[in-house]
C-alpha cells in the first residue's frame, strides 16, 4: 500500500529527496517548480512515510498527506461563458489543487439557462474518464433541481455544489451535495466560502476513500503508479510533452498526453512484469485532445476470461 503525500520545499538539494523516493520504491506523481519552490506529489510505501518526513525536516521542507493525489477530478459547469465570470468553478479547481488533486475544468456546450441547458454523449464520456465529477451549479434551488438530468446517469461518483442547502434525496444521480458555493460576482476568499470549500474537500476525500475500498475488493492487476513509471521509462516521447503531468495518474489507470493514432502501439507494447500493457489494460482514445487513456483490468477479469 502507498500513501500519497505533497512535499513542499526549496529547489536546493531537491535531488536528495527525489533519490530517496526512488530508493524507497516510491513514485513522483507530479512535479512543479514555482520560482525557487519545489512541489512534489508523490506516492511512498506506508512504512516509509516517516523517512520522507525526517528528510523534509532536515531540508526545512514540509510534507502533508494528499489524499486526492493519484486521482483525476472533473470540475463541470453548465457554462464557462464570459457573462458568468468570475466563476465558482475556477476557485474550486484552484483550491482542490492545494490538496494534491489533478483536475480538469469542463464547460458544457449548451449549459446556460435551465430551459436550454443540455449535455451530449461525448461530454458524458469525457466526464466518465475521470475518477470523480464535481458539478458546480448556481444559486437557485429550483434551477439546481431541474438540472439533475445533466448528471443522473453519469457512471462515476458525482458531487453537486450550489448556494442553497438541498437534501441529497432531491438530487437524483448525485452522490453528495455541498452548499455555500453558488455563483457570485467575486472570488471565494471570505470565511464562509473557505468553510464551504473545506466541506467540498472533505466530501471528495470520503468518496475517493469509499471508491478505493470498493476497488480493494477487486483490485487492478497492477497499480496505476507502476504503469506510469513503466511508460516513463520505456516511451522516450513522454520527455517531449510540455503539458503539466504528461502522464496523469487515476485510481484505475493513467491518461497519457500523447496522440493516440501516433503512439498507441508504443504504449500497448510497454512491458510490466514480463507482460505487455495491452494484456493488462484497455488502451483507447480519450475524448480529451485524442490523448491515450489506459484503464487497467481488474483481477476478476482473469477469471471471467478463463
pLDDT in tens, 18-49: 999 999 989 888 888 888 899 898 998 889 99
Q: At what angle do helices 88-97 and 191-217 cross, to 10 degrees?
A: 60
With cell 504528461, the residue in question is 246
- Output DSSP code: residue 172: T
Residue 302 has pLDDT above 80, yes or no: no
Rounded-to-integer distance, Cα 140 and Cα 92, Å: 19
Residue 8 backbone zone (phi > 0: left; psi -120 to 50: alpha; other: beta): beta
* Range 272-293 burial, b when 16+ CB lie within 10 A, else e: beeeebeebbebeebbbeebbb
Reported pTM: 0.88
pLDDT for the residue numbered 12:
86
Rounded-to-integer distance, Cα 21 and Cα 16, Å: 9
Rounded-to-integer distance, Cα 257 and Cα 187, Å: 31
With cell 471565494, the residue in question is 188
Cβ-based neighbour number of residue 135 at 10 Å: 28
Window from 28-32, 113-117, 157-161, 265-269 with minimum mean pLDDT: 113-117
- Region 226-234 average pLDDT: 95
The 3-state secondary structure of 95-134 reads HHHCCCCEEEEEECCECCCCCCCECCHHHHHHHCCCCEEE
pLDDT for the residue numbered 116:
77
pLDDT for the residue numbered 303:
65
- Region 182-188 average pLDDT: 79
Rounded-to-integer distance, Cα 42 and Cα 30, Å: 7
Sign of CA dihedral 246, 79, 98, 226: negative
Contact 258, 292 (CB under 8 A): yes
Q: Measuring CA to CA, how many Å separate 207 from each of 88, 133, 212, 284?
A: 21, 11, 9, 26
Of 195, 251, 210, 206, give the one whose Cα is nearest residue 228. 251
Q: Measuring CA to CA, how many Å separate 44 from each of 4, 52, 273?
A: 7, 9, 20
Position 174 confidence tier, pLDDT thresholds 50, 70, 90: very high
Of 112, 110, 133, 269, give the one whose Cα is nearest residue 200. 133
Rounded-to-integer distance, Cα 105 and Cα 178, Å: 18
Contact 26, 48 (CB under 8 A): yes
Rounded-to-integer distance, Cα 64 and Cα 5, Å: 6
Contact 38, 14 (CB under 8 A): yes
Window from 26-35, 116-125, 248-257 with minimum mean pLDDT: 26-35
Q: Measuring CA to CA, how many Å separate 161 from each of 56, 84, 191?
A: 36, 16, 17
pLDDT for the residue numbered 138:
85
* Start-to-end CA span in the chain (Å): 28
Amino acid at each position: 500500500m502507498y500513501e500519497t503525500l505533497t512535499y513542499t520545499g526549496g529547489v536546493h538539494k531537491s535531488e536528495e529527496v527525489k533519490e530517496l523516493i526512488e530508493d524507497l520504491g516510491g513514485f513522483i506523481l507530479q512535479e512543479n517548480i514555482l520560482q525557487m519552490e519545489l512541489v512534489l506529489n508523490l506516492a511512498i510505501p506506508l512504512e516509509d512515510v516517516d523517512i520522507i518526513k525526517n528528510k523534509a525536516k532536515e531540508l526545512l521542507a514540509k510534507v502533508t498527506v494528499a489524499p486526492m493525489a493519484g486521482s483525476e477530478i472533473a470540475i463541470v459547469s453548465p457554462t464557462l461563458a464570459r457573462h458568468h465570470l468570475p466563476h465558482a468553478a475556477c476557485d474550486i479547481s484552484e483550491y482542490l489543487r492545494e490538496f494534491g488533486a489533478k483536475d480538469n475544468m469542463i464547460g458544457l456546450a449548451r449549459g446556460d439557462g435551465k430551459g436550454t441547458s443540455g449535455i451530449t454523449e461525448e461530454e458524458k464520456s469525457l466526464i466518465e474518464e475521470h475518477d470523480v465529477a464535481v458539478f458546480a451549479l448556481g444559486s437557485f434551488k429550483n434551477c439546481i433541481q431541474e438540472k439533475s438530468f445533466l448528471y443522473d446517469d453519469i457512471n462515476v461518483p458525482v458531487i453537486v455544489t450550489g448556494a442553497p442547502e438541498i437534501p441529497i434525496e432531491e438530487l437524483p444521480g448525485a452522490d453528495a451535495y455541498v452548499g455555500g458555493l453558488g455563483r457570485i460576482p467575486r472570488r471565494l476568499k471570505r470565511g464562509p466560502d473557505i468553510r464551504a470549500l473545506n466541506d467540498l474537500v472533505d466530501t471528495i476525500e470520503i468518496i475517493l476513500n469509499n471508491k478505493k475500498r470498493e476497488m480493494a475488493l477487486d483490485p487492478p492487476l497492477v497499480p496505476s503508479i507502476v504503469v506510469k513509471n513503466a511508460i516513463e521509462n520505456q516511451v522516450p516521447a513522454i520527455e517531449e510533452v510540455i503539458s503539466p503531468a504528461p502522464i496523469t495518474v487515476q485510481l484505475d489507470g493513467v491518461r497519457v498526453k500523447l496522440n493516440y493514432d501516433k503512439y498507441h502501439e508504443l504504449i500497448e507494447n510497454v512491458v510490466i512484469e514480463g507482460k505487455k500493457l495491452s494484456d493488462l489494460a484497455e488502451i483507447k482514445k480519450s475524448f480529451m485532445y485524442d490523448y491515450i487513456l489506459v484503464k487497467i483490468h481488474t483481477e476478476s477479469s482473469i477469471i471471467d476470461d478463463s
